Each structure stands twice: as structure tokens, then as C-alpha cells.
Structure 1
Amino acid sequence: MDAWIGMMSGTSMDGIDAILVSFPADRQIQIHGTCTTPYPDVIRQRLGNLSQNRGSPDELGELDHLVGALFAESAARLMDESDLEPGQISGIGSHGQTIRHQPDGSTPFTLQIGDPTLIAERTGITTVADFRRRDLAAGGQAAPLVPAFHKAFFSDAHEDRCILNLGGIANLTHLPADPKKPVTGFDTGPANALMDAWCKDQTGQSFDRDGAWADQGQVNQALLSDLLSDAYFQRQPPKSTGTEKFNLDWVKTTLTRHTQVSGVDVQRTLLELTAITVAQQLPQHPGMTLFACGGGAKNPILLRELQRTCSPCTVTTTANIGLDPQWVEASAFAWLARQTLAGLPGNLPEVTGAKGERILGAVYYA
């Protein structure tokens, strides 16, 4: 069995999704096990602070170790629950935890932590990590990387499709039915990151379950227009972003110009911001279907508003094309590790803007 472990923690910084998969044939994924390891509250808070430049080199080093240990524990738990031994696993693909992503300017960089040497050492499995920096070195944005996986498994010769990942940041992949047309993909802007941060700030809850709080509010059009005026939304791809830009401080700075908006109306407006910015940047193709994945795909209010703003495009989830929305990203990093160890490229230059295809990641042998 050609089994692989993929592990992902996204910009929501809520925990680690780990999946054990095999790829029995082209365009086929077989899931053998999954697990989610939430970050302890203190780790999540420290990660959030570090991502906003509130931390020291010691803090960076400590969190690199602690997050790496949690990734190793996740992989070990997955093997235990699946009754597989390390020798039966071909490799691990670990995305790690993004701390800062600054792909533009004279000194571009992207930083993911979660010490892969600990993962390889503690699991006894060859581990591939640090996937993004090679694309960045080749002149790309280093994000999004998952469109290559989307192309390999979700494209369809009979239908134009878009895959929408609703993590902390939303990213969109357009898969044309015509194989001669290029795949495109980019970050559209914020998704769960702003809604989660505002919900935590106002209610103490880590997220707005099922969008229930947002659904009690009203869109404040003046606030929405102000948020939409950010230059990022008008930029042309390739482009990528993160919580170093779209964060609670960004929201609160804007709110200094809108002091009478209630907390619940801010939450509803942030949800509308996600739906509108996706719709505004969605390729226009008659009959296209939008397949959502990521944590935001569990938010029925967000999906309802996406159906409204993206009409006449049909909005559904990747469950309807064979993969549970929660496990798309983790599966992608299992596949990217497989690509790396096979000596095959993992990026799409037409998506990231890199000079060409590149083999991604660094390999840490068992």
C-alpha cells in the first residue's frame, strides 16, 4: 500500500488536521484514517501573538519545537488508530504552521514552523516540509500551492469548476474544462480569520458556530464599502495574503470611522465581505460549479450568502466530488510529499507566478 500522511494547520491557527491516504490510481484518493489535534489555548494565543510580530527569537524557537512535537503526536496517533507501522508509511508531508507570509517587496519571505526533524525522529518516517520557500525563490508567491492538487484530482473535461478553500484566508482555484486553458488560482482575501477574531474579541468564543451570531446581524453598507476599498481586492493575480494583513487590528482600525456599528452587525458585515470578495473575483463561466472546502464550508450562513453573491454559479462542497471539505488541504500535502520524493514538481507557475515548475520542500529522512 502506497500510504502517505498529510498534515496541515492553516491561518485559522486552531489545530492540526492529519490524514492517512493512498493514491491507488490517477485521480483516486483512498482515506485510511483522519484525526484533528486542536492547539491548546495557550499555544494558539502564543502563535497569534507571534504572527503579529509580538515575540522574541526565543519565543519563535520554543514554538517551533512545541508545534513540531504536536505534529509528531498527530502522526503517531493517526498510525495507532489505523493499526499501521512506520514502515508501512511512504512519507509524511507537513505544511507546518505559517507565522508570517510576506511574498512581495525587495526581501520576500514566508515562514512556517513545526520542526520537521522532530516529526521524522519521533515517527521514524521520512518527512517532507518547508514546501513554500522554493516557489518563492523562483519568483513566485509561494501560495496558493494546493491548486496543483486540485488540478490533479478535481478537474473535469465536461465542466468548468472552481475550488474555494475557506480557511482563515480564502483562496480560489479555477479548473477550466478545456485542458488547453491554464489553471488559475489566488487568495481572494479574508475568510474565517476575521470572523473568528471578531467573535473571540466580542463573545469570548473561538468561532461563530454555524454562523448563528452573524445571522442575527445586518450588513452595514458603509462599513462594508470601507472594507472593500482595500487595495488588495483590486490587485490582479498572482497574489497571496495572510493574517499579517487581514487581522483584528485591520478591522478595529476601520471601525474607528464607523463607531456606531453593533458587534453583531460587524460580524455579519465580515461574513458579507468574504462572500462579496469571492464573487467579485470569481471567473465568469456559464454553468460553472463552485466547490467549497476548509472550515468555512461548515458555515451554512456563509454558504448561503456565497450562493447569493456568486449566482448563477452553483455553490456546493467538495463532498460532492469525492473528498470531505475538512480533508482537502491535508490530503494535498500528502500528495505534495509524494511529488517531492518522486522528483516531480508541486507548484503551478501560472498560479504562483514562479519562473517555472519546481520540486518543492526539504526532505528529512527517517
Structure 2
Amino acid sequence: MSAPTAHNGLFLGLISGTSVDGIDAALVHFDDTSAHARPTLRFGRTYPWPPALRERLIMLGQEAHAITLDELGALDVQIGRAFADAALHAIRDAGLTPEAVTAIGSHGQTLRHRPHGPVPFTLQLGDAHVIAERCGVPVVADFRRRDVAAGGHGAPLVPAFHAAVLHDPGEDRAVLNLGGIANLTLLPAQGSVRGFDTGPANGLLDAWCLRHTGQPFDAGGGFAAQGSAIPTLLARLLEDPWFALPPPKSTGRDHFHLGWVEAALHGQEHPADVQATLLHLSVRTIVAALQATQPHTRRLIVCGGGVHNPVLMAALAEALPGVVVEASRAHGLDPDFVEAMAFAWLAREHLAGRPGNLPAVTGASGPRVLGALYPA
């Protein structure tokens, strides 16, 4: 078949974040062919991982577990199959057929993200050949590695999408994604867009909650609300040198995992107090980063799973007097699917031959067309 073009309107974005809480699928329509075309979410749903595969991914992300080459190869295919299943379910559940979709943008599952050191790399698995073969739809995947090859962090990539759809020339804004890791996009009324990771968010909160309550996430922030933050523990966690690094910066579950938390514990802490401390760690690092980099922010637009944690959202609002803290839904973007929509947009930008990174965000030596095309 001929190569797809960016003139067609419907794209499917797929992502599983550092929390590994499911595969987000977003069918997105764009109303014209420009980079700033208004996206409309036609359908969004989160599909569960096969339980054994999710358990293995969490274990690989939490600690430096050894993995053989045979298992790595098999895992790549298994993740690709899970992503393909999510794509096909989303297309079917939306009442469509694969022929209606111009292309799929697949982020894959990050296993390691090491943009520092003598051999920088980032590793996302989820064989795009498998997705294209099973779905019969062209796939754009492997978005991060070109930016790393150009000297960047390969992350965060979503700020380019935020800038395209949420910038306001009359107001200094920031977009906060509360996923497994928290990241900020700075959208000044005038000036350059910037973005960077600020540290842990749902990844640690979910993992600690699962260990001590058996629940995969802290519904309504109730577990954290049962406890009180421990100032000395918070201070020890904040001593991690990563927090003092200047942007551009990025991180992942391979740095901020439960072993990292346990190394700071004295062993007598009540689990709910630790949960409250981890919540305040996220708030403290987000607010410090925002005040240091864009102190005149007037509106903080929040997306990601953390939007559904009222304790976290209230703590953010309390720590940012004078700033409007609101979910992205107020701007027509479902907070649960902004990242998946971004990868639909990145696939579209790839087909249009337009750069998908922002060098001021990632630190790359220049703008680059991101990803590789895998034909149907």
C-alpha cells in the first residue's frame, strides 16, 4: 500500500507509562494538516496488561533485575502483542474498522532510560512490526532514540504537543503531567517553551500503596490522607542529587523505585505516613521546579492519573497561592488521555516530515523528525 499522509484525519495513540497501570489508547481526529490543528478525542480507553506480563514489567522497572537476551526478545514481542490487542479493541470499541485509521503512534513500554553517561540510551519495547502486522495499520514508533542520538534526553516529548494546543499569548501557563513521573511544560505568553521531569509521582505512590494495602493505586488519596508527612524522611529523600540537576532533565522508575524509598527509611515508619510523605515529595519538587523556572505562572493545567487524587490536587493548589490549578478537561483535553493523544500527534508529525522534539526541552542539538515508520 502507499505511504499514509498527514492529510487524513484519524490517528491512534498508544502509551503505557512508568506506572504500568494499563495501555492508554486514544483515537484522535485533527481538523486540518497544520502542526497546530485542533485535536478532538474521538475515543479513549485504558486496556489492562496481561497480569503476568505487568508483574514482570514492574519488577524489571523497580530494581536492576537481570534479563537474558532470549527473554528480552520475547518481551519485546509480548509487549507488541499487548499493544496490538489494545489498538484493535479501541478501534472495535469505537465502532470503527482499521481502515479508518491513518496510522498508529506507539510509544511502547520504557524499560530503561539512561540519557547520561558515556553511552546514553533509552529503551522502549513493543515490537512495532507485530502491531502493524496484527492491526493492518501503519505504525510510527521508537520516538525517543533519535533525540538521544542528537544529544538530547529523548524526554519529555509531550511538551511539543502541549505547546501546539495549549499555548496562550496572553498568559504564562504551565502544564503538569502527573504520571508515574511528574513533568512540567512551561508555556510563557512570550518566549521559548521548556519542559522537564520534576521527579516521582504516581509510580512511587502506586507501588507503596500496592505493597501495603493490596490496591494498585491510592483511590481518592485515602491512604495518604490517613497519615502525616514525616519531615525528616522528606528531607532525606530530597537529598537525592537528581533534584538539584538543572533542566534539561529526565528520569524514570529505574531511578525512583521502592528500593530508593527503603534506603531512606529507618524501619519504624507507619505505612500511611510514608504514603503522605511521598505525596508531599511530589508536591514539593513540582512547586520548587515551577517557582525556579517560571515564577510568574498564572495557570497550571494538570493531566495524567494524578488528577484523580484530590489530596494531591489540593496540596498543589495550597502550595501555589495565586495560581489557578485545574485539570486539562477545562481546556477540552481529557486528562487521562493527553499523553496518548500526544503520540497520535507525534505520528502525524512524522508523516508530515515535521520535527517532534523541542531542543530547548530535551537538550538535543536541533529539531528532529522522530520515530520510524512500519508499513501495514
TM-score interval, normalised by the smaller of the two chains: over 0.9
Matches within 5 A, 1:1-366: 2-25=9-32, 26-51=36-61, 52-54=63-65, 55-178=67-190, 181-255=191-265, 258-282=266-290, 283-286=293-296, 288-366=298-376
How far apart are the structure 2 equivalents of 1:74 and 1:38? 8
**How far does residue 27 in structure 1 lie from its aligned partner after superposition?**
4.1
How far apart are the structure 2 equivalents of 1:228 and 1:2? 45
> For 1:160-218, what per-residue CA distance to the aligned partner results, in whole angstroms no more than 9, with x for missing partners?
1100000100000000111xx11010000000111111111212221111110101100
Structure 2 residue ranges without an equivalent (≥5)? 1-7
Q: Secondary structure at the match of 2:154?
A: coil
How far apart are the structure 1 equivalents of 2:372 and 2:107? 11
Whichever residue aligns with residue 219 of structure 1, its letter is A
Kindly indicate whether the alpha-carbon contact (under 8 Å) linking 1:160 and 1:285 is maintained by their aligned counterparts in 2.
no
How far apart are the structure 1 equivalents of 2:297 and 2:182? 22
**How far does residue 287 in structure 1 lie from its aligned partner after superposition?**
5.5
> For 1:275-309, what per-residue CA distance to the aligned partner results, in whole angstroms no more than 9, with x for missing partners?
00000000344461101101111111000011112
Q: Which runs of 4+ in 1 moved over 6 A?
A: none
Kindly indicate whether the alpha-carbon contact (under 8 Å) linking 2:174 and 2:297 is maintained by their aligned counterparts in 1.
no
> For 1:112-148, what per-residue CA distance to the aligned partner results, in whole angstroms no more than 9, with x for missing partners?
0111101100111100000000000000000000000
Whichever residue aligns with residue 29 of structure 2, its letter is S
**How far does residue 224 in structure 1 lie from its aligned partner after superposition?**
0.5
Greater mean deviation of Cα atoms: 61-70 or 140-149: 61-70
Structure 1 vs Structure 2 CA RMSD: 1.2
> For 1:221-278, what per-residue CA distance to the aligned partner results, in whole angstroms no more than 9, with x for missing partners?
00001111111111100000001110000000111xx332211100000000000000
Q: Secondary structure at the match of 2:118?
A: coil
Whichever residue aligns with residue 82 of structure 2, its letter is L
> For 1:67-87, what per-residue CA distance to the aligned partner results, in whole angstroms no more than 9, with x for missing partners?
111111111112112232222
Kindly indicate whether the alpha-carbon contact (under 8 Å) linking 1:15 and 1:37 is maintained by their aligned counterparts in 2.
yes
Whichever residue aligns with residue 12 of structure 1, its letter is S
Aligned length: 362
Greater mean deviation of Cα atoms: 101-110 or 84-93: 84-93
TM-score by length of 2: 0.94
How far apart are the structure 2 equivalents of 1:197 and 1:163? 25
Kindly indicate whether the alpha-carbon contact (under 8 Å) linking 2:152 and 2:365 is maintained by their aligned counterparts in 1.
yes
- Corresponding position of 2:4: none
Kindly indicate whether the alpha-carbon contact (under 8 Å) linking 1:50 and 1:60 is maintained by their aligned counterparts in 2.
no
Whichever residue aligns with residue 272 of structure 2, its letter is V
**How far does residue 342 in structure 1 lie from its aligned partner after superposition?**
1.0
How far apart are the structure 2 equivalents of 1:47 and 1:270? 22
Structure 1 residue ranges without an equivalent (≥5)? none
Kindly indicate whether the alpha-carbon contact (under 8 Å) linking 2:186 and 2:294 is maintained by their aligned counterparts in 1.
no
How far apart are the structure 2 equivalents of 1:88 and 1:324? 22
Whichever residue aligns with residue 18 of structure 2, its letter is T
How far apart are the structure 2 equivalents of 1:318 and 1:267? 26
Kindly indicate whether the alpha-carbon contact (under 8 Å) linking 2:142 and 2:372 is maintained by their aligned counterparts in 1.
yes
How far apart are the structure 2 equivalents of 1:223 and 1:164? 25
- Corresponding position of 2:3: none
Change (3 A) 1:228 1:287: closer
Q: Secondary structure at the match of 2:234?
A: helix
How far apart are the structure 2 equivalents of 1:65 and 1:232? 33
Kindly indicate whether the alpha-carbon contact (under 8 Å) linking 2:155 and 2:362 is maintained by their aligned counterparts in 1.
yes
Whichever residue aligns with residue 279 of structure 1, its letter is V
